[in-house]
Structure formats: C-alpha cells, structure tokens
C-alpha cells in the first residue's frame, strides 16, 4: 500500500465475486444488507404467527422485497396460488384448524380439518392434493383431459411452486360420476377441421362462427404451416347442431330483422341436393353467405 492511501472495504457479493465498497456493485450490496437489518427476525415472527402470508406483511420498503424473497426461499417457504390469491406458506408447524380457517378467510376455499396435531401448511396441502399426472393416472385419462375438466370448472386446481395440483377428494368424487365420459367429451378441444367433420360443414364456416361470436375460441394450435389454428370446445356443438341448423353444408346463414339466425337455401331452380360436392358432401350450385361477408 502506498503511504496516505486508505484501504477500501472488501465486499463479498451474492455470486461469490469480490469487490470494494466504493464500486457500484459494492454500494448496492451494502444497501441490500442495510435493508435486511431486522428483516430476518420479523419474517421468523410471521412464520410463527401465520400459516400463510404475503410480502406486504413483512416488508416496509420496496428495497426490502428482494431481500425478503431470498430469505423466505432459503427458509423453505413456497409460493401458492389458490382462487387467484398468491400467498407464501410458513415453514413452521401450525394447528390444522388454523390452517383451514386461514385458507377460507384468505381464498374462500373451504376444507375440512381432518387432523389434530400441528403440521407444516405445505405438507398438509400436498397430502390433500395431487399432480395433474397423478390425477390422469387415477382417472385413466390424458393430462390434457384433466386440464380441460379444470377449464370447465369440473375440477378445482391451484398452483404450488409453479406446478398445477388438484384436490384429492374432488378427483375421487368425479371418478365415480356416471357422466364422466360425457364430461370428458364435452370438455375436449377440437381443431376447426375436426369440428367441421363433426358437423358436416367446412373449417371456414367454423372459423366464421368464432369471428361472429357464436362460438368461443379456447386456444390455438400450431398447424405446421407457420400459422396458428383455432381450437374450439366440443361441447358447444351439441347445442349448436340444434340452435344453428345452418351449420350443415346445405344451409346458409341469414340474420332476420328480429336478430335471429335462420336457415335459407340458394334460390336457384336446382335443389340443395342436386349436386354432389367434394368428399361426398351435397352442396348448392352456389355457395355464398347471406346477410354478410365471410
């Protein structure tokens, strides 16, 4: 060291690099440490008092949020999202009755307290739930079928540590429902081509139903040609076949003055069945949409 030169304080950064207190990285690390003073004790107190909590209950300044998240993750707490409410789970044991009461108060979810002894909230929730893969194996369905049932709210799901889980009692109950197969078919997603085959019409007419709001899109799929295809729910077409008879190849859409959808045919001399179209479908001699453009 040269005479008259002060030695700067060395700072060990979280990624194991070493810097000095005068550097920008060192100043940020010192600020982070200052923000964490007393935070560890406050977090541990929250662990003891509450089975579930959020960062707003333990931090006082925005600078403390990152430090608090690191401490919480290091302590073995996990992030859970139930009914759209995000919470952290305490790594400390709590009475089951308190866990159930807090879940109902914070998320509206009602579960039964089935144990007496204290337990870690994460452990209790994990024991009462299962993964999508486990549910699919239990019901002998595909994971896609399980997710489709969740989208129709036939099964309740929640997020835990980034994964999707379902409640065991709901999976058990739905397994013995006599209409389970019908529910699975109703929840299934179809491409426009599959929906068109089901209703004996064309994919373009299915896409038009989506554009005009008669049918809701429930997702997209890569068609392999660089374009994304539309997915629709199979269950909607059981009603559409009744309410929208113009879905057939012979029918055309027309909106009446009262706003109702009616089925009309081409007003040519040749009847709709006069000419056989591609793939054995009967078509009119002119295919156009009445009452609008496609």
The pLDDT assigned to 37 comes to 66
Q: What rounded mean pLDDT belongs to the chain?
A: 78
pLDDT at 293: 40
The secondary structure of residue 253, as a DSSP letter, is: E
**What confidence category does residue 1 fall into, taking pLDDT thresholds of 50, 70 and 90?**
very low
Question: 209-212: which pairs have CB atoms within 8 A and are 24 or more residues apart?
Answer: 209/240, 209/244, 209/247
**Is residue 231 within 8 Å of residue 217, measured between CB atoms?**
yes
Whether 153 shows a pLDDT value over 80: the answer reads: yes
Of the two residues 115 and 215, the one the predictor is more confident about is 215
Tens of pLDDT, residue by residue over 229-250, are: 889 988 877 655 545 544 444 4
Write out pLDDT tens, residues 61-102: 777 888 888 889 999 999 999 999 999 999 999 999 999 999
Lowest mean pLDDT among 26-40, 122-136, 188-202, 277-291: 277-291
Could you write out the DSSP letters of every residue in 26-93? Answer: HHHHHHHHHHTTTHHHHHHHHHHH-SEE-GGGT-SSTHHHHHHHHHHHHTT--EEEETTEEEEEPSS-
- pLDDT higher than threshold 90 for residue 268: no
Instruction: Quickly list DSSP for 89-121.
Output: EPSS-B-HHHHHHHHHHHH---------S-B-H
Residue 38 reports pLDDT greater than 80: no
For residues 187 and 22, which has the higher predicted lDDT (pLDDT)? 187
Burial of 272 (0-12, 13-18, 19+ CB in 10 A): middle
149/132 Cα distance (integer angstroms): 11
Report pLDDT digits (tens) over 166-176: 999 999 999 99
pLDDT of residue 127: 93
What span, in angstroms and rounded, lies between the C-alpha atoms of 183 and 161? 29
Per the model's pLDDT, the better-predicted residue between 70 and 19 turns out to be 70
Q: Beta partners for 219? A: 231
pLDDT at 177 over 50: yes
Q: What is the pLDDT of residue 256?
A: 39
Average pLDDT over residues 40-61: 90
Q: Where are the domains of the chain?
A: 10-125, 128-186, 189-283
Name the phi and psi angles at 277, rounded to 5.
Answer: -90, -165
Q: Report pLDDT for 286.
A: 36
- Lowest average pLDDT, out of 26-30, 110-114, 156-160, 182-186, goes to 26-30
What φ, ψ does residue 269 adopt, rounded to 5°?
Answer: -65, -40
What pTM, to 2 d.p., does this model score?
0.67
């Amino acid at each position: 060291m040269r005479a008259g030169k002060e030695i700067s304080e060395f700072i060990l950064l979280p990624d194991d690099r070493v810097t000095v207190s005068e550097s920008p990285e060192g100043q940020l690390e010192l600020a982070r440490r200052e923000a964490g003073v007393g935070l560890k004790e406050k977090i541990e107190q929250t662990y003891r008092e509450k089975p579930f909590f959020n960062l707003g209950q333990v931090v006082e300044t925005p600078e403390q949020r990152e430090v608090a998240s690191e401490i919480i993750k290091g302590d073995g707490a996990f992030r859970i999202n139930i009914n759209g409410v995000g919470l952290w789970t305490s790594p400390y044991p709590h009475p089951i009755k308190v866990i159930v009461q807090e879940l109902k108060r914070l998320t509206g979810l009602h579960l039964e307290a089935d144990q007496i002894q204290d337990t870690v909230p994460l452990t209790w929730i994990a024991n009462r739930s299962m993964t999508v893969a486990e549910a699919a194996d239990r019901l002998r369905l595909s994971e896609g079928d399980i997710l489709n049932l969740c989208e129709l709210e036939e099964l309740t799901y929640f997020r835990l540590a980034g994964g999707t889980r379902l409640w065991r009692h709901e999976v058990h109950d739905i397994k013995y429902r006599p209409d389970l197969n019908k529910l699975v078919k109703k929840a299934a997603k179809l491409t426009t081509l599959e929906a068109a085959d089901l209703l004996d019409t064309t994919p373009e007419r299915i896409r038009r139903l989506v554009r005009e709001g008669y049918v809701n899109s429930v997702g997209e799929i890569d068609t392999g040609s660089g374009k994304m295809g539309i997915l629709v729910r199979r269950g909607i077409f059981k009603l559409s076949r009744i309410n929208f008879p113009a879905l057939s190849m012979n029918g055309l859409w027309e909106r009446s003055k009262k706003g109702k959808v009616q089925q009309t045919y081409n007003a040519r001399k040749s009847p709709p069945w006069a000419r056989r179209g591609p793939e054995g479908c009967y078509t009119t001699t002119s295919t156009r949409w009445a009452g609008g453009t496609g």
